[in-house]
A = this chain, B = another copy of it.
Amino acid sequence: MISVLKYGGTSVATVEKIKSIAEAIQSRYLQGEQIVVVVSAMGKSTDQLLRLIHDVNPHPSKRELDMLLATGEQVTIPLLSTALKGLGLNAISLTGAQAGIQTDDQHSKARIESIDTDLIRMHLDAGTIVVVAGFQGISPTGDITTLGRGGSDTTAVALAVALEGKCEIYTDVEGIFTVDPRYHENAKKLDQISYEEMLEMASLGANVLETRAVELAHKFNVPLYVAKSHENIPGTYIIDRSTSLETPAITGISIDERSIMASVKHLPFSQDNIAKLFVKLAERNLYIDMISIAAPYHDHVTVSFTALKDDLNEIQNVIRTLQNDFEDIDITTNDKIVKLSVVGIGMVSHSGVAANIFRLFAEGNIHYYQVTTSEISISYTVLQEDVNRAIELISKAYHL
């Protein structure tokens, strides 16, 4: 089975790290594995490129941004393939386009439409290690596209799907923890977690794996493994729910610091007006998460939602266009909130988890603004200052 190994930006941040990865790959290769490696841009190089173009013009077009950012991964791939060749192995670097990664034309958040694996398979069959630039592809018009946040994970899983292989994500954490160890020092590393739980954890802010990548792996049942690069510590297997042996009530807590809470005030109350707001946000492809709508007051209503910090400017632009229709509306944003989510397949069978957490929060005097629930998770927006205390309470109650 072909192994697709993915190394993120911090794992390839220096020449020394790149050489050390080459050695790790060598020992796998010498055991007879066919290996595809997907890499990100080195360290903070993407941020440097972003600063450069924003110095030129604070509002670059997304096509030109993609042209620029794609160079980050294109620098890493020949460095890694050259390190592998330095060990006497056959290796070749391929850009996203050369690797056959066809996307749609949505620059900066393109979706992979298909992968033509002929060239990769040819190289693998010839005993060559193939090093692919993550995060990028080519549009139907031949333009360079990027896949957006966490795109390299998605590249790796998509290649594993197309090559009918397995996918291993090497990163700067040891695996999936019950809670981010930065918040809770006694957090436990999970040996395994189901796709569904991982999906909840990822979509709820656990930064280890990108939601899109987990979704894709789940959809095509691609074996997924997350571990720390440059070390020999066992990581976490992401497996099918049915093969999961035990189902504790709660598997983990996920913390999302990328969120802000936005509130649109004084909107004349009607379903049409509320719909108009969210349609406009959707048209710009803005990610909106938890929504709460206060009871109407004097025929006006306040609509709150959580969104990504990065999208703040664009959200404000959308609201400004709405002000043509509704002069009085106003927007306020709060970036001192955190989304805390409790995740566990066990919730399905263990009744009372939600009730218990509401009770814990009430006793601990933890104030929450929004609550959403899914089959296997409950999420709350809480104040940053309360988050450690909330984690403490839940971890204690559920032995995480």
Contacts and interface: CB of A to CB of B under 8 A. Distances in A.
A359 interface: no
Given A67-B93, A93-B67, A98-B142, A60 B78 contact: yes
Contacts of A143: 98
Interface in A1-42: 15, 18-19
Contact of A19 (B18, B56, B92, B142): B56
Contacts of A98: 142-143
Given A71-B75, A74-B70, A53 B65 contact: no
A64 B85 contact: yes
A95 B71 CA distance: 11
B71 A93 contact: no
A84 B78 CA distance: 31
Interface residues of A, number: 36
Most buried by B among A63, A71, A93, A98: A71
Contacts of A19: 56
A78 B61 CA distance: 9
B79 A68 contact: yes
Contacts of A85: 57, 60-61, 64
Nearest to A75: B71
Contact of A78 (B67, B77, B79, B82): B67
Nearest to A68: B78
A55 B15 contact: yes
Nearest to A93: B67
A64 B81 contact: yes
A181 interface: no
A49 B78 CA distance: 11
Contacts of A65: 78
A31 B357 CA distance: 70
A193 interface: no
A234 interface: no
Nearest to A74: B71
B79 A53 contact: yes
Contact of A93 (B56, B64, B93): B64
Contact of A57 (B59, B67, B82): B82
Contacts of A337: none
B15 A56 contact: yes
B75 A49 contact: yes
A53 B18 CA distance: 11
A86 interface: yes
Interface in A74-125: 74-75, 77-79, 81-83, 85-86, 92-93, 95, 98
A55 B86 CA distance: 11
B67 A83 contact: no
A53 to B, nearest CB: 6
Interface string A139-151: 0001110000000
A293 interface: no
A369 to B, nearest CB: 39
Nearest to A91: B64
Given A70-B74, A71-B75, 12 more contacts: A53-B79, A53-B82, A56-B82, A59-B86, A60-B82, A63-B92, A64-B78, A64-B85, A67-B93, A68-B74, A68-B79, A95-B144
12 contacts: A15-B52, A18-B56, A53-B79, A56-B79, A56-B83, A57-B83, A57-B86, A64-B92, A67-B93, A68-B74, A71-B71, A71-B74
Query: Which 7 residue pairs are nearest across A and B when measured between Cβ atoms?
Result: A57-B86, A64-B78, A71-B71, A68-B78, A67-B78, A60-B82, A15-B55
